[in-house]
Amino acid sequence: MDCMTLMQLLVPESNQMLKIRFQILRAIQRTQPIGRRGLAKQLEISERILRSETDILKEQGLITYSAKGMFVTELGKDTYLGLTSIIQQCIEMTDFEKEISDKLGIRFCKVVTDSGPNKGMQISNQVQELMKWMLPVDQSIVTVTGGRTMAMVAEYFSKEILQQREISFVPARGGVGGSTLIQANSVSEKMATKTGGEHFSLYVPEHVSKETYLPLLQEPLVSQTLTMMKQANCLLYSVGNASVMAERRGLVPQESQFIASRRAVGEAFGCFFDAKGKVVFKLPRVGLHLSDLESIPHSIAIVEGAQKAEALMAYAKLAPIDRTWFVIDESLANMVLNGVTR
């Protein structure tokens, strides 16, 4: 069986509950026969939730019930063995990654080694592995921000991620200053081209006045893309240093001075924030806002480079940690653990 077939056996309706059902299957495999009460206590979940999940596993033919407790079937055993390596690579975290997660106060983190010949490819591969788990079979929407990190990730996307999926890539914002190659439109188009997916553009300036913004929303193509990005299954984005992003976004001197006076350390989605995660300055923009992250099922924040440690640590206080995976490189991870000083 291929990867997606195995996942569909375990989680027929989607991949969202893959982690908990894998944990249940693994626990039964290791301690069978086991009753619901003992398993619920072992996994630290309620008996009501466990009953619902084990009923699904039973319907899929992966476990059976008996007077002695629950057992894993032969199909369940084959599924468990086939998924183990995938889960370890994609979902489960190493002790080092757990240490980083604890330090940042987040739940999910993957660390990519710096020792390989092509760090960009390794980061991109890790992002794609997470997307295979997050995205349902069939149709889905992925919304993407711009920037050098995102352009690097897009360069190594492949058609493998599109297996049994129809993915539409949409930019998460309009255009900003600087190279067009790293704009959200270009990055999302590159991802669509590399994977064979569909692409929708948003050819409007990112920063506009309120007087200009409202008429833009009435334009059919603009309205369509904005609606799609709000309906996304997954968001891919990065976090930047405040000073770098202030220059890239073309802030006037007074705005840059204000941001500096408020000791901003990072920026994401047009929001500049200080070391405590407090937003100190917000740019009006066409595209996703920080508040929109709460309504998107899955997000992957890709941050690389030791120089972004302070921005990452601050942003971790803002991110919706129940639905955000952080993919970072080893040098950044080590800087986070060693502490950052202003």
Q: Are 308 and 227 within one domain?
A: yes
Compute CA 61 distance to the chain's CA centroid, rounded to the nearest angstrom. 31
Domain-embedded: residue 88: no
18 residue type, one letter: L
How many domains in the chain?
Answer: 2
Range of the domain at 17: 3-82
Q: Mean pLDDT, the chain, as a whole number?
A: 86
Among 6-15, 56-65, 297-306, the least confident range: 6-15
Q: Are 143 and 256 within one domain?
A: yes
pLDDT, residue 341, reads 42
Q: Are 72 and 99 within one domain?
A: no
pLDDT, residue 342, reads 42
Is the pLDDT score of 4 beyond 70?
no
Q: What is the pLDDT averaged over residues 204-221?
A: 71
Residue percentage of the chain with pLDDT more than 90: 49
Q: Are 56 and 154 within one domain?
A: no
Residue 24's nearest CA partner among 45, 9, 3, 1 is 45
| Residue after which a domain boundary falls, among 29, 52, 82 | 82
Q: Are 73 and 146 within one domain?
A: no
Q: Are 126 and 171 within one domain?
A: yes
Q: Are 20 and 102 within one domain?
A: no
Is the pLDDT score of 82 beyond 50?
yes
CA–CA distances in Å: residue 222 to residues 13, 147, 293: 32, 21, 20
Is the pLDDT score of 311 beyond 90?
yes
Is the pLDDT score of 217 beyond 80?
no
Distance CA 222, CA 152 (A): 26
Domain harbouring 299, CATH code: 3.40.50.1360
Domain-embedded: residue 264: yes
Q: Are 77 and 125 within one domain?
A: no
Beta bridge mates, 141? 168
Is the pLDDT score of 140 beyond 80?
yes
Distance CA 209, CA 206 (A): 10
Q: pLDDT tens for residues 182-202?
A: 889 999 999 999 999 999 988
- In this prediction the pTM is 0.76
Domain-embedded: residue 158: yes
Among 118-132, 169-183, 217-231, 236-250, the least confident range: 169-183
Is the pLDDT score of 340 beyond 60?
no
Is the pLDDT score of 116 beyond 80?
no
Domain-embedded: residue 319: yes
Domain-embedded: residue 221: yes
Q: Are 122 and 62 within one domain?
A: no
Q: Are 172 and 317 within one domain?
A: yes
Q: pLDDT tens for residues 252-269?
A: 899 999 999 999 999 999
Is the pLDDT score of 277 beyond 50?
yes
Q: What is the pLDDT averaged over residues 271-282?
A: 96
Q: Are 104 and 29 within one domain?
A: no
Q: What is the pLDDT averaged over residues 11-18?
A: 60
Q: Are 39 and 98 within one domain?
A: no
For residues 259 and 248, the model is more confident at 259
pLDDT, residue 92, reads 73
For residues 181 and 7, the model is more confident at 181
Distance CA 297, CA 246 (A): 29
Domain-embedded: residue 89: no
pLDDT, residue 176, reads 55
Strands 198-199 and 234-237: unpaired
Q: Determine contact, residues 154/128, Cβ cutoff 8 Å.
A: no
Distance CA 130, CA 324 (A): 11
pLDDT, residue 207, reads 63
Compute CA 68 distance to the chain's CA centroid, rounded to the nearest angstrom. 41
Give residue 57's pLDDT band: very low, low, confident or very high (50, 70, 90).
very high
Domain-embedded: residue 87: no
Token pair, residue 326, equals 């952080």
Is the pLDDT score of 224 beyond 80?
yes
Among 59-73, 145-159, 207-221, the least confident range: 207-221
